[in-house]
Each structure stands twice: as structure tokens, then as C-alpha cells.
Structure 1
Amino acid sequence: MPPMLTDMPSDRLDVLIKHPFHRETGERLIAFIRDLRECRTPEDYVAFQQDLLHATLAANDARAERSRVIKRLRRGQKLPPDAPDLVIGDPHDLDDWRLELDVLERVGRQLRSIGDAMAWRAFHYDRRHILALRRNESPGPMTLSKDGTVHEIQFADQQWNEHRQFAMLHDLTDCLRIGDVTVFGKPDQNDEQDILLYELKTNPNRREGAQFHRTRMAAEALHEGGPLPGHENARLIDTGVPYATHLSALADAFAHAHRDGLKTMRVPGQRGLLALDISAAGNKWGSLEATRQFEAQYAALLRRTRLTGQRVCYGSGDSAARNYLTAPWGIYPLQPAQCAGLIADVLVFTVTLSSDNFVEELRRAGLDVRWVLPEGAEIESSQSLLEINGHGRRLQVACAEIERLLLELTDLQTWAEGIDRLLEKTESRCQPWPYFTEEHKVWA
């Protein structure tokens, strides 16, 4: 398991963030996000995906080369004659190779986060597709050493060359884990478009297995209201409520943080927001004083927000291509450089609320709500934080959904209305996965 940034010593973290591979990728992320926002036609998406594919394969190949060197050095063997050049450090030092491996792991995730943004945009910001197609294990790094990868790339090329259709490669993303390729058909005269999901075979004689079954279930869940893969009672439920957020506050906070190092503010729903521009804060105060300023201003924010009960705090740090429910940073309604900064962790933000304030907000919207996390229990280890009753149904709200509400700065009254509609629509045995309408108005 790759180390989290919060688990690294400060000196190693500093070297990792300033590593040339990391800096170069940060600049490329800005260009990728700008290019993605210009994608309009199938040809645009094909060209964009080709650029992302080349960058991804190069990063994964470089990571594999360093992994090979590390395995030899661990066994006490000499450095192989065809070893890649170590950018920073002593080529005979195992820890220097490990550092570069960690950097390239992060680069790979950052590129997959761009792939996630491509998927959201290609699906017109319809969260249903993400909820249906994420329900599988990650396939791991994309590499041409896998026969399946070569076959998928050839299939995508064929779809474009012969049919002028964009075929999206799932392995370029983290959020699309069921099926191998999605093909976007040509819109008809009513602007309706066929979207076809493919699980490809490298061996045409191979029988259909579990992956084909999951792919079929995902397609039926999207188009026919069938159960989602992995749980016979799990279904997508349309709340019918237009999605709304307060992400404009995040844009304002980062604009101030770019000038002043960091910014705190209160957000509707009795939430506290803190945004930090690491470079600006370092230039203004230095790393040690910046840390002290962060802690002091965060404490002051909590006092101003008057949070009571159990505090719930989630942050953006080190989450690129890790968070399966939250929209990817690349589609946030921010400047491309700010989105890239979130992906690369040179910009970070946290959002905090409390159990008492959260319950109060939801009860004001008419929901019968109870906070179920025991006092002193760790949020990460809990299956659910909230219990909602209504229309003869009981709903348990998981930690991941609360994290999404915070990081997307979802309007709590909108969410509460959607949950009320969900309880009204859902049968007693159903495990609902809600989605809201008109999300494109937030992300596009």
C-alpha cells in the first residue's frame, strides 16, 4: 500500500513534493484540464485520450522499472546495467529508489484523476454511470505488458478509424472499474446518443465469466432500473431534485489563500472551511510558522462556527484517485491551475461540521434524524454516522456520503429534500443509491 502524505516525515514529504517528476506533472495537469474543458466532439475526446494514454503508459513504465531495481537491491544484487537514471540521489541507495517509486505512484494516481474527470465529462456529469461502474476492484496500473491493455487500445482505435466513435478506455480512470471500454455513439437528430459498455475478450473462445455478468448487471442498472453489481437489493434512485452546492465559496477561499497563504470562512449549513495555498504560505511564513498559522486559524474558525457535539472533518489532501464517491478535482468549478493544485496537493482544503449542527440543519428541513456514532468512536471505523426515518423507512447514512457532502460543499437543504424524496420512493428492502438531477449545471 503506497504511503499517505500524512504518514511521511516532513523532510521526505518536502523532497517528494519538489521532485522534478512531481513538478513536471503538475504543469501537465493544468494543460490536461484546460484541454478537457475544450472537448466538444468525438475527435476532441479521441485526441485528449491519446495524450493521456501516452503520459499514463510512460509513468507506469517508469514506475515498473524502479520497482524492478528495488527488488534486485533488496536481494543484495548489483544495480542492473539497464537501470533507469535516478533523477535525485545515489543509485546504490535503496531508499532513494523507493522515494522515486513513491513519486511515480502519485503521478500515476494524478493522471488517473484526470481520467476520472474525462469520464465525468464524457458522461455529461451524470453520476449514475460512476455509481454503477465503480463497483469492482481497481485493475492496477495500465501497462502494455498486459495483453488485455493492447487489445483494448486496438479496439478503441478501430472504433474511431472505422466508425468515428469515441471509445473510452476504463483503465485510464479510477472510477470506471466494470467493463473495459465505453463507446459513445453518434447523436441522432434528437441529440440522443447510444452509450455501449464492452467487456472485451482477448480469447474469443473463453466463456463468459463473472466480469461479463457484472458488466451486464451494470448496463441493466443504468438502462432498466435493475440491481447494481454486487448487491441484489442495491438500486439507483432518482431523487428528482436539482443538485446544488456552495463551491463558489471554495473558489473565493482559494483566491484569498493565493494572496494571504490561507483563508478560513463559514459556509452555509454551519460548516467551517479552511483553504491553504502551500506555496504562498511557505513564502509568507516559512514551513514551521505556516503550520502554526494553520492550527491557530483552524482553532479560531471552530470557535466562530460554534460547533457542538462530535466534530466531523474531511480534507482534500492526498485523495486524487482514492475517493470513489466524490467528484474528481479536475471538474470542480475552479480555475485549471486550482484544480491541478488540488490533484497535486499544493492546494488543500478542509470542511468541518458537528453532529449537533448537522442534525439541526436536517431537522429544519423536516427529516427525522438521529446521530448514531458513539461518543469517542473513530469516524473511519464506523459503518454509518446518521440514521434517518421517514415514510415508513429507515436509512443509514455511511461515512463516505458525509465525506462527499463536505468535500462537494453540497447544499444541505437540497440534500435533505433529495433524501426525503428517496425515502418516499424506495421500497423497504431496497438499498438505495441516490442521484440528483442537473449536475452538469454545477460541474460544467
Structure 2
Amino acid sequence: MAEIIPSEFKGSVMASGVEKSAVGNRRDRHTGGMSLFDADAYDPDDMMVHPRHQAMQSVLAQLIQQLRDCDTVEAGVEFQRHLLNRLLEVEKDRDGFKRASKRMRGGKGPQPQAPEPQSGRDLADVATWRFEHDVCERLARQLRSVGDALAWRVFGFHRPFILALCRNQSPGPMYGKAGLSAELEHFERACKEEGAFALLHDLTNCLRIGDMTVWDGVNPPRTEEIKTNPKNSRSVQLRRINQARAAVLDGGPLPGDNASELLYDLDLRLRTHLDVLRDALERAATDGIYATPVPGSRALFVVDQYACARQGLSSEQFNERRQHAVDGALQRAGIAAGREDHNIYVTSLDSTARDPLRVPWANYPLNPVACARLIGDYAVATVETSGPVLTRLLQATGLDARWVRPPGKADLQQGEVIMEIHQQERLRSVALPGGLTMTPGWTLQMRRSELDRYLMELLQPGTWAAGIKHVLAARQAGQPWPHYRNEHEIWV
């Protein structure tokens, strides 16, 4: 998201509620990102070697391939049924582990029919049951990330639908949800009796407004709120559904209390360097560690845990190889100087199905196995840039850009302004008393989500700069959420 406001009225701006940090606060410099977990009861590697977590890799790859093979409405419906069964199985066990840990904290034993832990840890230790719960929570997010990929696909990769429907709190678990039977009944009726295609929002993380969207083949997609008792429909939810629909179809404000937040059609083609990511993942799958510069003052680092394990690298060998690769990529990208004070990065680490603004990994033009590794963090991609260097890149295109984020290592905060891009309207200078002249202008304030997109989606710098110029040229005060027109040609 960016913010464009008249320069004479520039001030603090409220952040969007969906801009969140994807991971915790503990740094892990060996990946260039963050530590995998904040839990003190287990080591991050424990999660990666857990049998359930490892088994999910093949499931994810199969689901992604199945989704890509869907070419009929019937296949899409059957895919949802299959994904639903997988998700409910995981969430049922998650609920069981939660109940068991709660009982053990109260001095009791696990409940009868509690799911069986598979970590090999001490069954008498409540931390074992909490760990198993965390594993299931993570697996549920991984499955929902494939549901996100389905959502992007059925909406034709038209980002405005996602931007409009993601603006609620994250949904809770499906298992045990009141009203789930009513939703499933409505889903089956729409698909079987009405011949429509229906999408269950609870299978996703990115669709947070409404319970279901229906395509009848004639009208625009229709988002619905399903209640066991229709008389109990919540006016607040219905209003947000109508706001989302009006934002996409009629140019109205996005759902929420800020009427200045609007979708913005850039009328530009999206161009990326995602081929660099594909090549880097392939190299890392062989070498374990691979780093490369990316056009646009960026460096990409990829670590593949499978390849590192095959090579039997010691911690010292790993760190040496990683440091050598990273240093070389930073130098070639021209962003090595002042790294500790001015560099900023985004990472794939533990980000799956956390941020609804990110394109799901399953939609990236990659092999399904590579997508599954990114989803499960068996492959970790990090993209780094230098704020001042990035600013100079934009200045070279004629933009008056300034990096305003203070030097230091602090993590990006929700809604934090990191860059300002100013444009004066020289043809509208106004004479003031005393021989002074006022030149009105506009300032585009860039926030974390926009930089995240430039880095993680590897936009070509020319495309990114052209988009910024397009937004500035519109001279419309408010908070525009820009989108490109040809994303169906980029994502799978």
C-alpha cells in the first residue's frame, strides 16, 4: 500500500489493519531472515524433523499439482472436498492436542481418544502436547496456503478481489466451527442443484469477508454470508461484503472506516524477475546455498535444507559457505556498504498463510515440489535491498525519492513509512504576499506492503518505477492500493 497526499497536508497516516509482520522478532542471521519459532520449549529443527511435518511435503506437492490440473468446475469442486478433508483431519488433531495440554496443566492426564504424539518426546511432559499442537497449527496454515492459491485462480488472478476480501481478522479453525454444517450444505446445493461453482472461504487465509463466493457463469462473483438461522444475519458482515463488492466493481472505498483507501488500476503490464527465483531454487536444491544479485538493487539468498543435509555440512561449514555466498551477492548488487544501518529484507521463512497480501507460493511459476518446500520452509528465500541505494535507483528514473526510515536494525513496524516520493506541480505556482511563491505538490508515502511486493515478487525495477509514476500522475489524495492488469499471465 502507498499513500498519496497533498504535500501541504502531509502528516501521520493510519495503517491498514492487514499489514502485519509475518514472523517473530528473534533474528537468525544464518538465513538472512528470522528465527523459525518463538517457542522456548523446542528447537526450530524439531519442527522440521517431525514426522507429520515431513509427510506434509508430499501431500502439498500433490495438492498443488491437482489444483493445476483442474480444468472443469467439477474438478474444482472435488479439489475443495479433498482439501477440506485434509484440513479437518489436521484441525481435529490440533483440537485434541490443545485439550490434552489444557488437561495436563490442570494435573490430569490426556483425554480418552486423544491423538497420538509422533515426536518421540516425553508423553508426561505438557510441552510435548503443546509442541504437537503447534505442528498441527502450522500444517493447517500450509494447507490453507493451497486454498489461497485456489482463490487467486478462480478470481482470475485479479488482485482487487483479494485486496477487498482480505480485510477482516484471520478466520479460526474450521473443525468444531458453529455453522460449518450449514456452510457445507449451502456449498453442495450451489454446486449440485444450481450448477454454479462455489468457493469455501474457510479453506483459505486470504478470503476473510463472507463465508463463500459463488460464480453462476452469468453475473460477477457473489460473496455470501451463511447462517444456520437466516434471521441471525449480521448487518456488519453484510455491509463489509457490499463494501468489498462496490470497491472492486464500482470503484468505492475498500471495506473499513477509511474512505480514502481505494483500489487503483495502474493500466500497466506486470513484469518480474521470477525466473531468477526459479533458477536460484534449482541451484540451491543441488548446492544447498545459493545467492545472486537481482536487477533493481536486490540480492536473493536461498537455502535448501534437503541439499544441506545431503552434503552433511557442519555448522561451521554451513556458516562459512553462507557468508561467502551472501557477501558476494551483496557486493555484486551494490548494497554491501552500510548493510547494518540501511539494508532491509523480506523472507519466506514461516510466512505461509500469515499475510493475506502475499501471493501464495503455490501460484508462483515453479515446480510443485519447489512450491511445497517454500511452504514448508525446507527451502527459504530471502530478498535484501539497501534503502538509500533503492532511492537512488528511483531518482535515476526522474522520481524525487527520499528514504525516511531511520538507520538501525529494528524490524519494520505495521504501517511504517519507509520512503517518500515527492512531485511538484510547477505549472501551478501561486504568488503569496511578501514576494513568496508556493508550489503545490504531492507526496507518495510508501509502506511495508509495497516494498514487500517489490522484493518478494521480484518486480522489474522499470515496472515498479512506472507504477509509482502512474500513481503520482493521478494526483488523487488518499491511500491507493495499486494493481497491474496482466497478473493472470504471471501466476500459475
Task: Give the TM-score taking structure 2 as reference length.
Answer: 0.85
C-alpha RMSD over aligned residues:
1.9
Distance across 2 between alignment mates of 1:291 and 1:21: 28
Contact kept, 8 Å, 1:2 with 1:102, in 2: the verdict is no
Distance across 1 between alignment mates of 2:170 and 2:290: 36
Q: CA deviation at 1:293?
A: 2.1
Amino acid at match of 1:302: L
Alpha-carbon displacement from aligned partner over 1:31-72 (angstroms, at most 9, x marks no partner) = 011011111221111011111110011111110000000000
Which moves more between the two structures, 196-205 or 113-122?
Answer: 196-205
Q: Secondary structure at the match of 2:118?
A: coil
Q: Secondary structure at the match of 2:184?
A: helix
Alpha-carbon displacement from aligned partner over 1:304-352 (angstroms, at most 9, x marks no partner) = 3221451111111111001222211010011000000000000111111
Which moves more between the two structures, 402-411 or 380-389?
Answer: 380-389
Residue 301 of structure 2 corresponds to 274
Residue 359 of structure 2 corresponds to 327
Distance across 1 between alignment mates of 2:140 and 2:150: 15
Residue 28 of structure 2 corresponds to none
Q: CA deviation at 1:285?
A: 3.9
Which moves more between the two structures, 219-228 or 322-331?
Answer: 322-331
Distance across 2 between alignment mates of 1:54 and 1:140: 16
Matches within 5 A, 1:203-352: 203-206=229-232, 208-230=234-256, 231-288=258-315, 289-307=317-335, 308=337, 310-352=342-384
Distance across 2 between alignment mates of 1:164 and 1:21: 37
Structure 1 residues 25, 283: closer, same or farther in 2, change over 3 A? same
Contact kept, 8 Å, 1:238 with 1:422, in 2: the verdict is no
Residue 421 of structure 1 corresponds to 470
Matches within 5 A, 1:40-439: 40-88=71-119, 89-143=121-175, 145-186=176-217, 194-206=220-232, 208-230=234-256, 231-288=258-315, 289-307=317-335, 308=337, 310-376=342-408, 378-381=410-413, 383-390=416-423, 392-428=441-477, 430-439=478-487
Q: Secondary structure at the match of 2:275?
A: helix
Mind listing any 5+ residue stretches in structure 1 that lack a counterpart? 188-192
Q: CA deviation at 1:247?
A: 0.4
Q: CA deviation at 1:383?
A: 1.0
Contact kept, 8 Å, 2:101 with 2:110, in 1: the verdict is no
Amino acid at match of 2:323: E
Q: CA deviation at 1:7?
A: 3.4
Q: Secondary structure at the match of 2:188?
A: helix
Mind listing any 5+ residue stretches in structure 2 that lack a counterpart? 1-21, 25-34, 426-440
Q: CA deviation at 1:252?
A: 0.6
Residue 190 of structure 1 corresponds to none
Distance across 2 between alignment mates of 1:2 and 1:66: 23
Which moves more between the two structures, 277-286 or 150-159?
Answer: 277-286
Amino acid at match of 1:172: L
Amino acid at match of 2:480: P
Q: CA deviation at 1:78?
A: 2.3
Alpha-carbon displacement from aligned partner over 1:90-130 (angstroms, at most 9, x marks no partner) = 32221111221111111011011111111011111111111
Structure 1 residues 287, 149: closer, same or farther in 2, change over 3 A? farther
Amino acid at match of 1:199: E
Alpha-carbon displacement from aligned partner over 1:175-212 (angstroms, at most 9, x marks no partner) = 0001110111225xxxxx53111122222222542111
Q: CA deviation at 1:11?
A: 6.7
Q: Any runs of at least 4 consecutive aligned residues in structure 1 with deviations exceeding 4 A, and if so which? A: 1-4, 8-11
Q: CA deviation at 1:150?
A: 1.7
Contact kept, 8 Å, 2:272 with 2:457, in 1: the verdict is yes
Larger relative contact order (Cα-Cα within 8 Å, sequence gap ≥ 6): 2
Structure 1 residues 359, 2: closer, same or farther in 2, change over 3 A? closer
Structure 1 residues 282, 10: closer, same or farther in 2, change over 3 A? farther
Distance across 2 between alignment mates of 1:398 and 1:72: 44
Q: CA deviation at 1:15?
A: 2.2
Amino acid at match of 1:434: P
Alpha-carbon displacement from aligned partner over 1:290-314 (angstroms, at most 9, x marks no partner) = 2442233213322332214511111
Contact kept, 8 Å, 1:17 with 1:23, in 2: the verdict is yes
Amino acid at match of 1:406: L
Amino acid at match of 2:190: Q
Amino acid at match of 1:258: A
Q: CA deviation at 1:153?
A: 1.2
Amino acid at match of 2:93: A
